[in-house]
Amino acid sequence: MIDLEAALAELREQGLHRSTRLVSGPQGPQVLVDGQPVLLLCSNNYLGFADHPRVREAAADAAMRWGVGAGASRVVSGTMTIHDRLEERLAEFERSEACVLFGSGYLANVGVISALAPRGSTVFSDALNHASIVDGCRLARAATFIYEHCDLDHLAWGLRRAPRGGLIVTDSVFSMDGDVAPLAEIVELAAERGARVVVDEAHATGALGPGGRGAVAEAGLEGAVDVIVGTLGKALGSYGAYVCASGVTVEYLVNAARTLIFSTAPPPPAVAGALAALELLCEQPGRVDKLATNAAAMRSALARHGLAVADGRTQIIPLVIGGAAETVALSAAALERGVFVQAIRPPSVAAESSRLRITMMASHSASDVQRAAAAIAAAARAVGVDFRSPGEPARATIGRAA
């Protein structure tokens, strides 16, 4: 039996203990954290829709019309009019035959992978895929081949040594590094070996591609990717997830994805809020451009302050420190200076690659960007973190954080 107190003490000793911080108010560019006003640089509300008046109104109206909860799973009585509306609209948005909603991105990835990877097949998974993909591979009956991050030669090597077919699964934008998968080349390798391709667009929807349709659309691969997984909880400002695929694939998932069959359907207010956000995205594609502008401005501002920032073009900007305790100390020092940017530590990232993970929003102003970069740089000086180059962790001269 696990000794819980000892396990927690070990996490504290390693600098890996986690606790929640109380955020007051909506997820805007500025929030109250533990009662203090700060700039928010660790939210996935990329386009500012989570607190948009139209999204709020849609959610409130849905609560009055359909109630707060769906009351049952999708395959019992939980599929309501609002679910059908959003699925139709998302299928149009993704240029796909069909769509089905899941309760969360985690449930979607676990359900899709475990349903589409039977015993005797192989799942090919990028080494830096999200934990939901990792857990989906663990629950599938298939074998799993983990290829080095974005390494096409390693993926090709694995495909040649496995039975034909199988499932290649990758994030399109990787959540901790912000880099983009080589989707065109992955699709080409899959075609050569008769494999299906599943792409998780959680951090690309609303951030990349024409009209914010994601990295798949940006690469010109609409119709070439077998399954697209997306989230309602990031750029679309709500909660839940969706899977777009062929009609037969969606029908099969409704019958085989255990995380859909045995979970209550997404609540109507969240679904209606996401539908309103999707309409806003289609009406206001300039928000996608503003997000990219803010991300580029933040990278430039950090570099001007001497902070090493790897090349990138997405809204996710990692500042790799290395040690967990040092990263926690830097996050705390930034918060003292009015900037909330969370320390990301193992197991979310590899050992000795702890980092500050900055996430930009389209709703950040130019002055927000400059103020945040200056505060992070001042915090780094205060705690003795010396950023050297984008290719290696920063040097830290401080001791272990409390």
Q: Would residue 10 count as lying in a domain?
A: no
Q: What pLDDT score does 310 carry?
A: 86
Q: Of 368, 183, 218, nearest to 288 (Cα)?
A: 218
Q: Of 200, 250, 207, 241, nearest to 97 (Cα)?
A: 250
Q: What pLDDT score does 398 carry?
A: 35
Task: Judge whether 203 counts as a catalytic residue.
Answer: yes
Q: What pLDDT score does 15 carry?
A: 81
Instruction: Identify whether the C-beta of residue 331 lies closer than 8 Å to the C-beta of residue 341.
Output: yes
- How far apart CA 360 and CA 42 sit, in angstroms, is 8
Average pLDDT on 81-103 reads 98
Clarify whether residues 234 and 125 are in a common domain. Answer: yes
Q: What pLDDT score does 319 carry?
A: 94
| Domain closes at, from 283, 299, 315 | 283
Clarify whether residues 339 and 247 are in a common domain. Answer: no
Q: What pLDDT score does 12 carry?
A: 87
Indicate if the pLDDT at residue 391 is higher than 90: no
Q: What pLDDT score does 336 carry?
A: 95
Indicate if the pLDDT at residue 218 is higher than 90: yes
Q: For residue 184, how many other CB atoms are within 10 A of its CB?
A: 13
Average pLDDT on 51-65 reads 97
- Domain harbouring 161, CATH code: 3.40.640.10
- String of b and e for 272-294 (b: at least 16 CB within 10 Å)? bbbbbbbebbeeeeebbebbbbb
Query: Where would I find the H helices in 162-313?
Result: 183-193, 215-218, 247-256, 258-261, 268-283, 286-304
Q: Would residue 401 count as lying in a domain?
A: no
Write out the residue range of the structural domain in which residue 311 sits.
Answer: 21-50+285-396
Q: What pLDDT score does 121 carry?
A: 95
| Domain closes at, from 246, 261, 283 | 283
Burial of 400 (0-12, 13-18, 19+ CB in 10 A): middle
Q: What pLDDT score does 17 carry?
A: 85
Indicate if the pLDDT at residue 397 is higher than 70: no
- How far apart CA 213 and CA 260 sit, in angstroms, is 24
Q: Which of the four pLDDT bands, split at 50, 70 and 90, describes residue 21?
A: confident
Indicate if the pLDDT at residue 211 is higher than 80: yes
- How far apart CA 371 and CA 377 sit, in angstroms, is 10
Indicate if the pLDDT at residue 24 is higher than 80: yes
Q: Would residue 2 count as lying in a domain?
A: no
Clarify whether residues 86 and 123 are in a common domain. Answer: yes
Task: Judge whether 175 counts as a catalytic residue.
Answer: yes
Q: Would residue 402 count as lying in a domain?
A: no
Clarify whether residues 213 and 291 are in a common domain. Answer: no
Q: Which of the four pLDDT bands, split at 50, 70 and 90, describes residue 401?
A: very low
Torsion-angle region of residue 79: left (phi > 0), alpha (psi -120 to 50) or beta? Answer: beta
Residues 165-200: pLDDT tens digits? 999 999 999 999 999 999 999 999 999 999 999 999
- Name beta bridge partners: 143: 122
- How far apart CA 111 and CA 108 sit, in angstroms, is 5
Clarify whether residues 279 and 295 are in a common domain. Answer: no
Which among 96, 114, 132, 175 is annotated as catalytic? Answer: 175
Clarify whether residues 205 and 234 are in a common domain. Answer: yes
Q: Would residue 31 count as lying in a domain?
A: yes
Which among 52, 130, 203, 364 is annotated as catalytic? Answer: 203
- Domain harbouring 46, CATH code: 3.90.1150.10
Distance (Å) of CA 86 to CA 74, 129, 271, 287? 14, 27, 7, 21
Residues 75-85: pLDDT tens digits? 999 999 999 99
Q: Would residue 1 count as lying in a domain?
A: no
Write down the mean pLDDT value for the chain. 93
Q: What pLDDT score does 18 carry?
A: 81
Single-letter amino acid, residue 87: E
CA 313 to chain centre: 15
Indicate if the pLDDT at residue 235 is higher than 50: yes
Indicate if the pLDDT at residue 402 is higher than 50: no
Clarify whether residues 250 and 104 are in a common domain. Answer: yes
Q: What pLDDT score does 394 carry?
A: 52
Indicate if the pLDDT at residue 400 is higher than 50: no
Which among 52, 130, 234, 364 is annotated as catalytic? Answer: 234
| Domain closes at, from 242, 260, 283 | 283
Clarify whether residues 339 and 278 are in a common domain. Answer: no
Q: Which of the four pLDDT bands, split at 50, 70 and 90, describes residue 333?
A: very high
Q: What pLDDT score does 399 carry?
A: 31
Q: What pLDDT score does 393 carry?
A: 52
Clarify whether residues 229 and 104 are in a common domain. Answer: yes
Clarify whether residues 261 and 322 are in a common domain. Answer: no
Indicate if the pLDDT at residue 387 is higher than 80: no
Clarify whether residues 147 and 268 are in a common domain. Answer: yes
Residues 273-332: pLDDT tens digits? 999 999 999 999 999 999 999 999 999 999 999 998 988 999 999 999 999 999 999 999
Clarify whether residues 141 and 258 are in a common domain. Answer: yes
Q: Would residue 9 count as lying in a domain?
A: no
Number of domains in the chain: 2
Q: What pLDDT score does 34 carry?
A: 84
Q: Would residue 13 count as lying in a domain?
A: no
